[in-house]
Amino acid sequence: MLVHLGMVPVTVVSSKEAAEEVLRTQDKHCCTRPKLVGSNLISRGFKDIGFSQYNEEWKERRKFLVREFFSLKKVQSFGYIREEECNLLVKKLSESAVEQSSPSPVDLSKTLFCLTASILFRVAFGESFHESKLVDQENIDELVFEGETAFASFTCSDFFPIAGVGWLVDLLSGQHKRLNDVFRKLDAMFHRVIDDHSSPERSKDHSDIIDLMLDVINKQGKNDSLRLTVDHIKGVLANIFLAGIDTGAITMIWTMTELAVRIRELSENLFLEE
């Protein structure tokens, strides 16, 4: 079925046969995400992994990242970071509970966002989140939410890309300003961390994803299949920062929610085990 959202034709897949054709048979032709204004801005012109067009360039970038950052061996090598950050969180919560005469409730959502960010900062950025001046630690969850919203939200310009009507509506409604505000916050953070990694005075004891991508930029030739720019680094960092923190934190939040809902069953099981 064909419908039009503004000036954009949209195909609605409403049967099992059509879904199989789109998702399996013609997957290579249908897997690219739509080019939206927000995702174009945050991904630096689709130079990331999540929103880039499916082509040979994308496959080379993905192959590089899987090999250098997302492989099982690499993930396991980061195990000590996850363990250290979890132990640090438990220690802080325990000390806070002991020091307060009347313990106050803990905002677990914000706490788990900070935990995920602390792990990701050490793995991807090579520095401690708690000591970092790149981002406001108290508002990390708000920045992630704003970034995710910018990536996924539709604008009037997406539905009316030619006539200029959509652009004017976005300007008057403040959508342009909201997108640009998020872009500036993320760009400033990524720019500073890249500059820090480019400094000759920086310790090279631990190579993270930024070091590896900068090394590719410095050594790449004209005929190399993998060619990167600083915009590619920022696009990939946007994927890692937003999706990494959001997915990890939300998963833990829902896990704790389920435990809270089933607290009686959990208590009974612990009592039986004792």
pLDDT of the chain along its 274 residues, tens only?
889 888 888 889 989 999 999 999 998 888 888 889 999 999 999 999 989 989 888 999 999 888 888 888 888 888 898 999 999 988 888 877 777 666 677 788 888 888 998 998 888 888 788 877 777 777 888 888 899 888 888 899 999 888 688 889 999 999 999 999 999 999 998 998 899 888 877 766 667 888 888 988 888 877 788 889 999 999 999 998 888 888 888 898 898 888 888 877 777 766 666 5
Separation between Cα atoms, residue 244 and residue 80, nearest integer Å: 18
Domain CATH number, residue 102: 1.10.630.10
Based on the fold, state whether residues 269 and 209 are members of the same structural domain: yes
Q: Do 176 and 220 fall within a single domain?
A: yes
Same domain, 22 and 43: no
Length of the chain equals: 274
Its domain, for residue 16, covers 1-31
Is the distance from CB of 39 to CB of 51 less than 8 angstroms? yes
Looking at the structure, tell me whether residues 105 and 138 fall in a common domain.
yes
Whether residue 48 sits in one domain with residue 27? no
Copy the structure tokens of residue 46.
């689709």
* DSSP per residue, 143-168: HHHHHHHHHH---HHHHSTTTSHHHH
